[in-house]
Structure 1
Amino acid sequence: MNAVLLCLTTQHNWLMVALAAAVCFGGLVTALSLFDRARNSGGRMRLALGLTAAMTGGLTAWTTHFTGMLGYDPGLELRYDLGLTAASFGIALIASVGTTLIGLLGRTVLARMVAGMFGIAGVTAMHFVGMSAVRLQGFVSWDPAVVVAAVVIGTLFAAAAGWVYARGGWKGILGAALLATLAIASLHFTAMGAVTINASPAIALAPSAFSGTFVLTVIAAAMGVLGLAAAASIGLTYWSRTSAIRQLREAIDAMPDGLGFYDTEDRLVLWNARYSEVNPELATRLERGMTFRQILEIGISENLYQEAVGREQEWIDERIEARRALSVTLEQRIAGGRWLRVQDRMTAAGGIVTVVNDITDLKRDAEALAEARDAAEAANAAKSQFLANMSHEIRTPLNGVIGVAQALSHTDLSEDQRDMLKLIDASGRTLQILLSDILDLARVESGRLQLNAEAMDLHQAVEEAAQLYAETAREKGLQYMVEIAEDCPRWIEGDIVRLKQVLTNLVSNAVKFTTEGMVQLTVGVDHDATGRETLRLAVADSGIGFDAATRDRLFSRFEQADGGITRQFGGSGLGLAICRQLAEMMDGTLDCESEPGGGSCFTLMVPLKRSAAPAAAMPEAPAPEGRAGLSVLVADDHPTNRKVVELILSQIDARMVLVENGQQALDACRDDHFDIVLMDMQMPVMDGLTATREIRALEAREGRPRTPVVMLTANALAEHVAAARAAGADLHLAKPFDAAELIETVLQLPDQLRQAA
């Protein structure tokens, strides 16, 4: 650094240094301006402007170097070799052309930075070739460290110049020119600080070398060329601007929108043909210099603006006031049922550009779309209501079928009767699964199905899902295997209910469609293309398989491999469609591989979110077989449901009070004490939600202990569960319910709530 400062202060003429910097900055501003116009032009104009920019940039770099060399005085006479001097000039031009090409072909910020670094690399080559052209009576040596520093500093400045130019506008051009000047100057003068000259009178100057006066003449000629380039730039700019104005006028006239331009005093300066077309009542009266207020007054006189009737001047003043804002958009209804969208935009100089569109057709379409949307929403609401009602109406008798079958199974039956009872129970379960699939599909389509992310025991979930079909697999003589990889975490974050729903569906299909061989469920950790950890759950079987055509439609609704499969194996074809949609909701994928007769493999991939084990839950006391004196209130308007509950709870010898509506349930709670209340949601006189709220209010008024309330209802949608919780219910059991689950709830819930309190 000291050598560089010493070189600048003792061996350079500062006037020449300043001249070199001025030449560099001025020439680079011209070159970058030409390049900017070339970048925004096309055809031959792009080529002409690009070559002119490249020539100007090369001349600027070469002139800067030799102007700086003229200001360099090492104490010895300097002469220059003609061939090498010409070579340095050629290098400067080639580097400038390459820089221009890179800049034109690449439009990203990185491309601009690469162009700058390519340019400085060429300037570096030009500098050292130019220095090798110096002839003097002595030896020249270089400090490598200072040379490297010069190249690095120049490259950094050049890259920064490319980045600043990419910001755009005249500020980008000036900033890039300044940084490029610093790049060339820092390279030149830092490199000159690396030079050490050892004088030797014994060395004679070559007679072919020419003096600095000749160089000065060459530089003057180069400056003349730069002047011509600048003049050409001005001429091209004027021609380009004139051409641009003509093209702009043609473009304005061809616009599909009406456009009018008003000056700072809101007087009409120019307008296009469309502006007259969308204002046919005003077209013949439009003239240059008329104010916008006059145009409004003409419209008032033509009765165009119905909203202005009776308040004309006030309406005009409001419109003018709104127009003075920076940006205004309004939709205006005019005579004849037409609609115009008027947009006023203020220019930087204070003028106003008004754009007018006829949106009559859009308004009509919007009205039609609104009517169609309302009809679709009404249809969707009707569908949702229908599904809710059908769910309720189907679940109620289904609860009777399954509940009575389960109660009957605890009585003395013959073997044939038990077989028939199993068929009834299995048929009821199949119908229950189908009903749940249809409701799940409806909830997914409507966006009302939500996933609950919480800590879950993955191993337990997998084992429980697999265990459901283990007995069926053994009865068919299948090898049934469940493998969980050692690196698979036990606790993860996710929705355990929906994960088990997908797994049980896949395992159920595998067992159903496999008559011999094996069914295997494997769980492991994998990684996706981005390296993110994923959970891989695969269900493979040696069943009937399917071809590629079937694979493409297998995840569609109501689809199976073919009609024969439907007849042989049964099923609705909804399960896989729901499973894929659930996988997508989990931000994962569900896919399969198969071939006819060669088995299948379904693979579920979901993001793996590891979780810490939750705090240990309070250990539950084992459920007793029965409890003397247990008092249960059952509120249900359907006699079959009351009978089902009565049959099931008779197994634990509970005292039951049966009522038909919510009002009777409230009266019973007021007059008696119950260990638990089983409440239907949809009942006459008073519904279950209202009854639950009244029971909670009664407890609060009289200081009674909280009685557990279980919503035992066919209303099984998510909003029904939320409504039950909000009303004060402690649990929600959807019909048809499992007899064992109901008994367990009745026996354990009161004790659990007392312990929690």
Structure 2
Amino acid sequence: MHRIINCLTTQHDWRFMLLAAVVCAGGIATAITLVGLGRSAAPKARRLYSTAGALVLALSIWATHFIAMVGYDPGFAVRYTPAATLFSLVIAVIGLSACVALNRGGVDRSRRIIGAVTGASSVAAMHFVGLAAVTFEGARFVYHPVIVALSVVVSLGFAVLTGLPAQSASRWRLPLVTGFALMSVCSLHFGSMAALDIVPDPSVVLTGGMGETGLLFWLATGVAVIIAMAAFVVGVASWSRNNALAQIREAVDAMPDGLAFFDADERLMVWNARYAEVNPEIAAALTVGMSFEKIIRIGVAAGRYTEAFGNEEAWIAERLAARKALSCTLEQHVEDDRWLRVQDRRTAAGGMVTVCNDITDLKRDSRALAEARDAAEAANRAKSEFLANMSHEIRTPLNGVIGLTQALARTEMTPDQTEMLELIQSSGHTLQTLLSDILDLARVESGRMEIASEPFDLARAVREAAQLYAAGAAEKGLSFFVDIEPEAAAWVRGDVVRVKQVLTNLVSNAVKFTDQGFVSLTACRGRRPDGSAMLRFTVEDTGVGFDAEARDRLFTRFEQADGTITRRFGGTGLGLAICRQLAEMMGGDLDCESEPGGGSAFILTLPLIEAQEPAALVEAQPDAEDFEPHRIRVLLADDHPTNRRVVELILAPAAVDMTSVEDGAQAVAAYRDGGYDLVLMDMQMPVMDGLTATREIRLHETVMGLNRTPIVMLTANALAEHVAAGQAAGADRHLAKPFNAAELLELVCDLGEQQRALAA
């Protein structure tokens, strides 16, 4: 250790040592900065930065070595061999270029350490080659190997430390790496210089070489290059920073939204022109360092914020409190009926970025959309009310027509009268079908059509749907087939009513459009492309058929294959459109294949959901001898005299004693006066409607402890919501007008007998 101290204090001029340290540290820092700039530069510029960094690093360490040598005083005349001196510089350039190459880019720590050791090794080689370039008059060097080895090991240790700090944006990386590199160079140089002994040798004579003046010229040139490079780095960094700031400023000014930046003390630092535009009341007052509270107080004083009228201080306090959060978004209603969306975002350093958007157009559009939505909903409600009223008003007289024809059909008539009666009945049923189609379409469009999921016997449902038109097919001389594969004759889960509705429509069309040949309905199982099970129903006929153009519009509402004035077949053009929508609502599809004159095939596919057959419900039936023939007491409430007369005529042949009233209030009074087996209640009546009357009857039963009397809503209100309203009021059944005479008779007899059985 005393050799090193002696070398530093007595054999070296401290001014040259200080200069060497400054040159070394400055060159290393400049080289690291150049390499760092190269990592973020384009590929060509990256190579340029790396080359410049390697050259500066080599020059700075080489200059450090020889500046320290100039400050070394051995007591003898010194000369420097130019070739060896220049060769030492070449060694430094090559080795440190390899070091930079290994550290270029985003490399891991092990590669950085290898690069550092490679650089330190080249510096050691440069150092000893440089010492070999030094000659003395009448003297020579003698090394102490242990001290030399120790200095090399220490130098390599400091070099390894330069590779440890991660290549990140940390502010401590540059000084740490520079310090470790400086210690590596200094420990190598001064450690090895301390290991030298100069012994006299008269045989050594200086015959040539370069003196200290020439070496200083070389060193000055190297230092000038380093200074130039350092200046270049500082200039490039400053230009890049200013250019980046200018670009950022230009981008901020070009933003369509107002932007302002406040520091951690809520003082305004930067804003763009748009920020001043959306806040015109403060545009002239905006200055750097202005507080946010002052900005909003100016706006409040100018009457800008409509929400703050009459409550200014509380509004300001609330706005300042909301701004303390990490992020805040609010909408402000300002003067001139304009709206601003203000977004505050806290930065990592505690500052605040405020973005203002003028959303007046969005608010107006939103208000217009809301008004349009409300108008559409009002129109939809009006349409629904209109359809409900029209349904009631049409079904009421239609019930009279159909009911009276059914009652008249049971009387004696001439053949001509019978024919005319059949025509009336046919027209009535056609009108009823049309009305049902229109109401179904309205329910589908409004989204009120609900699909049930209940177990049902598929084979039975298919046969029932087909048999409705078997007689019609026979009258036309058509062969009529129903084929249900054994695999499809099972209990499944779904909406049996809607399935039968689609199938009856398809079979009805097939019979209607076929004059000769056959009509068939088949049901089978199948598989979808995804492998799931499905049901496939096919209705085929040998009818008129249709072409591809007609097929494309066949499932469109109010469209038919033949829409001309001379068309042979009637219909509304609604049936197939409704059927396809029902199929899709049930998770299936409806399609068709046909050609003109070659018949048609309509294919309905539905998902197959198997179900267990319900356990048989066995009801105890009373013995006939326990009950003698009796008459059923029926209370009928209906405000329409024709409908009351229709019901009276239909029930006249049955063992029924009927009491008729005109409104719900009379029905409640009549029910309280005497016991009835059954109540037939219209829904829409004056004084008291049927729903209110039903609730009053149920309340009377509860208070008096009476048995529950069956109530049937016998009404022209046939929509799904009407059925649900009747059930909610306490009705047991719902029979829509126009109804079938046989259906009414069966209903009255069944419910009447059940009530008598319960009473017994």
TM range, normalised to the smaller chain? Answer: 0.5 to 0.7
Question: TM-score scaled by structure 1?
Answer: 0.67
Gaps in structure 1 of 5+ consecutive residues: 1-32, 49-53, 68-168, 171-235
Rounded Cα–Cα distance in structure 2 between residues aligned with 1:241 and 1:488? 79
Q: After superposition, give the CA deviation of every residue in 1:18-49 in whole Å (9 maximum; x if it has no partner).
A: xxxxxxxxxxxxxxx99x999xx9x999999x
Deviation at 1:371, TM superposition (A): 2.8
How far residue 257 of structure 1 moved from its aligned partner, in angstroms, is 1.9
Residue in 2 that maps onto 1:690: 692
> Would the alpha carbon gap of residues 756 and 245 (structure 1) be closer, same or farther in structure 2, given more than 3 Å must change?
farther
Q: Is 1:302–2:311 an aligned residue pair?
A: no
- Partner Cα separation in structure 2 for residue 510 and residue 621 of structure 1: 43
The reply to whether residue 661 of structure 1 matches residue 673 of structure 2 is no
One-letter identity of the residue aligned with 1:608: L
Deviation (angstroms), 1:683: 0.9
User: Does residue 398 of structure 1 match 2:386?
Assistant: no
Letter aligned with residue 577 of structure 1: A
Segment drifting more, 595-604 vs 481-490: 481-490
Q: Deviations over 1:527-547 (max 9, x none)?
A: 222211121112121211111
Q: Which has the higher Rg, Structure 1 or Structure 2? A: 2
Partner of 2:588: 588
Secondary structure of the structure 2 residue equivalent to 1:733:
strand
1:521: which partner in 2?
A: 521
Q: 1:538 to 1:299 in 2, by over 3 A?
A: same
Q: Quick one: distance in 2 between partners of 1:246 and 1:531?
A: 63
- Structure 2 unmatched ranges of 5 or more: 1-35, 49-100, 115-167, 170-235
Taking the aligned partners of 1:386 and 1:574, their CA distance within structure 2 comes to 19
1:325 matched residue in structure 2: 325
State the Cα deviation string for residues 586-637 of structure 1 (Å, max 9, x = none).
122111111111211111122211111122234596999x953211111111
| Residues 258/587 of structure 1: CA separation in 2 closer, same or farther (3 Å cut) | farther
**Structure-2 residue corresponding to 1:447:** 447
Deviation at 1:318, TM superposition (A): 0.9
Equivalent residue, structure 1, for 2:416: 416
Partner of 2:485: 485
Change in 2 beyond 3 A, CA 1:380/1:531: same
Alpha-carbon deviation of 1:350? 3.4
Q: Deviations over 1:672-715 (max 9, x none)?
A: 11110111111111111111111111111112111111110001
Q: Determine the structure 1 residue equivalent to 2:746.
A: 744
- Secondary structure of the structure 1 residue equivalent to 2:695: helix
Equivalent residue of 1:674, what SS?
coil
SS class of match (2:399): helix
Aligned mates of 2:591, 2:504 — CA distance in 1: 16
> Percent identity of the aligned residues?
62
Structure 1 equivalent of residue 381 of structure 2 = 381
Residues 620 and 365 of structure 1, relative CA distance in 2, 3 Å threshold: farther
Shift of 1:252: 3.4
Distance 1:451 1:247 in 2: 62
Aligned to 2:631: 629
Give 1:584's aligned amino acid.
E
Q: Go from structure 1 to structure 2 and tell me whether the alpha carbon gap of 1:664 and 1:311 turns closer, same or farther (over 3 Å shift).
A: closer
Give 1:92's aligned residue.
none
Equivalent position SS for 2:551? helix
**Residue in structure 2 matched with residue 679 of structure 1 by the alignment:** 681
Structure 1 residues 238, 623: closer, same or farther in 2, change over 3 A?
A: farther
- Cα offset for 1:483? 1.5
Counterpart pick for 1:728 among 730, 749, 757? 730
Tell me the residue number matched to 2:715. 713
Q: Find the counterpart in structure 2 of residue 364 from structure 1.
A: 364
Structure 1 residue 453 displacement after superposition: 1.0
Q: Which amino acid aligns with 1:435?
A: L
2:268 maps to 1:265: no
2: CA distance, partners of 1:261 / 1:634: 80
**Partner in structure 2 of residue 138 of structure 1:** none
Structure 1 residue 301 displacement after superposition: 2.9
* CA 663–60 in structure 1, closer or farther in 2 if over 3 Å, else same: closer
Q: Which amino acid aligns with 1:709?
A: I
- Alpha-carbon distance in 2 for matches of 1:601, 1:238: 82
Distance in 2, Cα, partners of 1:623 & 1:609: 41
SS where residue 630 of structure 2 aligns?
coil
**1:524-673 mapped onto 2 (5 Å cutoff):** 524-564=524-564, 567-618=567-618, 628-673=630-675
Q: Structure 2 vs 1, CA of residues 747 and 242 (structure 1 numbering), >3 Å: closer, same or farther?
A: farther
Distance 2:521 2:40 in 1: 66
For 2:647, give the aligned amino acid.
V
1:623 touches 1:747 (CA, 8 Å); kept in 2? no
| In structure 1, C-alpha distance between the alignment counterparts of 2:542 and 2:620, rounded to whole Å | 42
Question: Which letter maps to 1:313?
Answer: E
Q: Which letter maps to 2:485?
A: A
Letter in 2 for 1:708: P
Q: Per-residue deviation at 1:425? A: 1.2
Letter in 2 for 1:635: A
Question: Does the 8 Å contact 1:623/1:748 carry over to 2?
Answer: no
Q: What per-residue deviation string (whole Å, max 9, x for no partner) do you get for residues 486-540 of structure 1?
A: 2225111111111111111111111111111221211122222221112111212
Tell whether the 8 Å contact from 1:476 to 1:516 is kept in structure 2 after alignment. Answer: yes
C-alpha contact (below 8 Å) 2:632/2:752 kept by paired residues: no
- One-letter amino acid matched to 1:748: D
Q: How far is 1:648 from its partner?
A: 0.7
Aligned to 1:190: none
| Preserved contact between residue 560 and residue 566 of structure 1 (Cα < 8 Å) | no
Task: Give the secondary structure class of the aligned counterpart of 1:651.
Answer: coil
Of stretches 432-441 and 613-622 in structure 1, the one that deviates more from structure 2 is 613-622
Q: How many angstroms apart in 1 are the aligned matches of 2:44 and 2:457?
A: 70
Per the alignment, do residues 673 and 59 of structure 1 end up closer, same or farther by CA in structure 2, a change over 3 Å counting? closer
Cα offset for 1:354? Answer: 1.9
Displacement of 1:303: 2.2
Shift of 1:237: 13
Residue 353 and residue 753 in structure 1: after superposition, are their counterparts in 2 closer, same or farther (change >3 A)? farther
Alignment-mate amino acid for residue 703 of structure 2: R
Write the distance in 1 (CA, Å) between the matches of 2:417 and 2:732: 38
Q: TM-score, normalised by structure 2?
A: 0.67
**In the alignment, is the contact (CA less than 8 A) between 1:661 and 1:685 conserved in 2?**
yes
